[in-house]
Structure 1
């Protein structure tokens, strides 16, 4: 018996799906509790048409979150410096800037209500962080009074809070970098010196 490969979605169907996702991001940016009806109206579709693409609101939200995690995981492919403190600052800066591009998806993915379900999806970024922490502790650059797993979790929680709550206003990129460096064991003076040497890390429009 020959099993046919699933057909790719029709172009108009894909366009509708993309439109729904875009409308969902816009609606959720205005109201995190936006209903499926509100999202369908924003997309210019009926509720029934929306359900032709997503089984329910949970499935739609999961897809929005997946878009955010894909962008985060792309960061894991970027090289970081051999110096653990600078590598950690680079990772924090890149995460913040990716989150700025997908603010709604990032906030939802990093929110306490969803972070457990996205933990596996964020495994590549977590692996990079774990490697940086291990290298930093071995070289004495990062604090060693905490176990590596615990330290990595604390750094992650700090970065998550800054990104999720958009703390710092116009200085959010700087705060994201400084917060993880502080949790990792660097003093504010050491963080100042590192950022003075690498000002690109706290620019709001950095690549």
Structure 2
């Protein structure tokens, strides 16, 4: 039986999550959105907003923290050491596509000078994994070697992030377009990318 003590706690938790979800939507549209704008998006009062987050910086840091958790999961899942570097990149891109909403939030927050350091930290596990894949791919000549591993890893990351934040996720073929973009920067021709995807049906659109 729900008591009067437990109901407010549940309502408070629901309101907090509603504020975070509203902030994610609003920040993608406007990285500098005010607390009032976010509260209106959530359908809550300013009092409710400030009851959970005393200032905008606290709210933004919570969005970044949730991004860290999601990216850490991606990095931990990306242990495809028994496959080729191109396939490891393609699989990671597919996983990243599944977190498109959070990637968009972090990309938007990266435009906010006050949170550059936090967004960089959020991407650190993912960047480390991409660099690991690129280093292995350059060593076995399956990825391009005309630039350093650090440079190539960063270009792959930025290409994938741009594709995810700019493509319409609901459009047919958009996920594969993001995968192919990353593989192209990594050094594969479009024919090689098509062949790789055809050989691994799990990469196809579901």
Alpha-carbon distance change, 175 to 139 in structure 1, aligned in 2, over 3 angstroms: same
Correspondence for 1:175:
177
Q: Distance in 1 between matches of 2:148 and 2:67?
A: 29
Residue 106 of structure 1 corresponds to 103
Q: How far apart, CA to CA, are the structure 2 residues paired with 1:182 and 1:41?
A: 42
Deviation of 1:68 after TM superposition, in Å, equals 3.1
Q: How big is each residue's C-alpha offset from its partner over 1:46-103, in whole Å with a ceiling of 9 and x where there is no partner?
A: 213311221322332332243234222201111324211111111111111122xxx1
Report the equivalent of 1:150: 151
Tell me the secondary structure at the aligned position of residue 173 of structure 2: helix
Tell me what 2:62 maps to: 63
Contact 1:21/1:64, CA 8 A, preserved across alignment:
yes
**Per the alignment, in what secondary structure is the counterpart of residue 122 of structure 1?**
helix
* Equivalent-residue separation in structure 1 for 2:28 and 2:183 (angstroms): 30
The aligned residue for residue 201 of structure 1 is 203
SS in 2 for 1:128: helix
Deviation at 1:16, TM superposition (A): 2.9
For 1:65 and 1:170, the matched residues in 2 are separated by: 30
Residue pairs, 1:81-96, within 5 angstroms:
81-96=82-97
Q: Is the 8 A contact 1:97 1:173 kept in 2?
A: no
Q: Offset of 1:132 from its aligned partner?
A: 0.4
Return 5+ residue gaps in structure 1 as ranges: 1-9
1:147-192 CA-partner distances (Å, limit 9, x unpaired): 0000001101101101121257322210111011100111111111
The separation in 2 between residues aligned to 1:96 and 1:90, in whole angstroms, is: 10
Distance, in Å, in 2 between the alignment partners of 1:142 and 1:34 is 41
For residue 37 of structure 1, report the CA deviation from its aligned partner. Answer: 1.8
Shift in alpha-carbon separation, 1:28–1:125, aligned structure 2, 3 A: closer
The 1:122–1:26 alpha-carbon spacing in structure 2 relative to 1, beyond 3 Å, is closer
RMSD: 2.4
* Residue 41 of structure 1 pairs with residue 43 of structure 2: no
How far does residue 12 in structure 1 lie from its aligned partner after superposition? 4.7
Output the TM-score relative to the length of structure 1. Answer: 0.80
Q: How many residues get paired?
A: 191
Provide, for residues 94-147 of structure 1, a one-character-per-residue CA deviation record: whole Å limited to 9, x for no partner. Answer: 111122xxx1x3212024515653111221111111110010000000011100
Structure 2, unpaired ranges of 5+: 1-8
1:29: Cα distance to partner?
Answer: 6.0
